[in-house]
Structure 1
Amino acid sequence: MPTATLTRLVRPPAKRPAFADRATLRRSLRLLTSFRFEQSDPALFYGGIATDTAELISDFYRDVTGDDLNAITVLDVGGGPGYFADQFATLGARYFSVEPDPSEMHAAGLHVPGSVRGSGMSLPFRDNAFDVCLSSNVAEHIPHPWVMADEMLRVTKPGGLMVFSYTVWHGPFGGHETGLWHYLGGEFAARRYARKQGREPKNRFGRSLFAVRAADGIAWARTTSADVHTIFPRYHPRWAWWLVRVPLVRELLVSNLVIVARKPEVRQAS
């Protein structure tokens, strides 16, 4: 891909996306401080993330299609116990989720009728099934995240929206509960955690946690058939979105990368 095209990908679109107006410093501080509750109070943490995710999807869907989420179908890949379901239902969407781990599906005691067990790397749905396909903080937990990205595009309807958001390995939250020790290596961080806490970390490097770089997402965006709408750092205020454009800086300071893409419309033969 020519450099000019790649530069376009990592810059905001000519028309500022609606979500940029929500991307304030106050929002960033609220989300970043909530991470301390991920293990101790997951309902509080994921509830806030769910609200933010639904707002993000709603804004970008309106940007690329002109429509709201009322009556559209949403697939959440790696939906866990279903914290996002109520937020999308509030916006009128029909919410479905897929999760490979049955213990995760039942972790919060929630009942999500549209939740099925399956792998994000081989989604158990037909082609062109959903208006929106999203994945929030899942890619770093599977060994082949870009296989999942391609699968997400496969099940998205032509003209539909795909939103792929993941934790960047070399960012401050890349090691999850193993803290900043992941900068000395994922295996080192996992062993140190087990030694200090007397148990293995939930997110075990090499098993349920993998090193995914910001550059990996941009490389996928360069080769995908989808129309990449924008790439931005999820938890940053809009005036810091430029960080994505700087190769080394984005690996260290972009804690979560978001790729927003639209599946091309099917062209009718003339």
Structure 2
Amino acid sequence: MTSPGQTFHFISGLPRSGSTLLSALLLQNPRFHAGMTSPIGALFNGMVAQFSAGGEFGPVITHDQRRRLLRGLFDSYYAEQSTKSVVFDTNRQWSAKLPALLDLFPQAKVIACVRNVAWVMDSIERLYRANPYENTKLFADDSERNNVYSRVDTLALRNRLVGFPWAALKEAYYGEQAASLLVVDYDLLSQSPEKVLRLVYDFIGEPWFAHDFDNVVYDAPEFDEALGLKGLHEVRRKVQAAPRRTVLPPDLFEKYASLSFWQDEAASAANVIRIKHNT
């Protein structure tokens, strides 16, 4: 079983926005466990479906039993990490599950990695073009993958790779549990990793650990190849900014560059590590 003193936090946010990099850095701390997306989110949803109205077992499972069973998912899955005092579970759906997460783990924090949405789309499009002999599971048919416009607009749908976590994070950002949310801009993480990590440590109330930003190691080739998108979770060894020109047409880039709602400081209690963009 997990240690009685073990603390759970959560990593969420947009794809291609630094969650894998953040996990790789946190893993350097011997007290921490972090990784890419875990299966707990899917298991969590499956169990809630069984509990709910219309589910076979809903009428016979009490509220307290539901809480224990759901908490047990985390305890069971991370039982082998019992020597780690802090566990970060990653899933993009956690942004939309704050009421449940904070009921199960009242002291938990959610770190949401973000990036200008146009650059998120640019990053995915680059990976797609780098694998020209692979259709990838991101797209269901030729009408979705036909060209850059259909690909980007498909990814932006509310139930797809970018649209779903964007909407989930927007819910959390303006929701009543927003104070438990820390929004981390990828550009700032890549430009000033120590500054950002120190703020993360302060937010979760943990003592600072000296990280090595020149020797970061993380990759998940098996997962990426199964998805048909090689390089999705590959992290460069040295943390640094890598300026580049976008591969998106100007009108498409402009369309998605305006979706950074986390720049709205007045209407949310969320904590934001932000960087000012010129676009």
| TM-score band w.r.t. shorter chain | 0.3 to 0.5
* Greater RCO, 1 or 2 (C-alpha within 8 Å, sep 6+): 2
**Structure number with bigger Rg:** 2
Give me the TM-score of the superposition, normalised by structure 2.
0.33
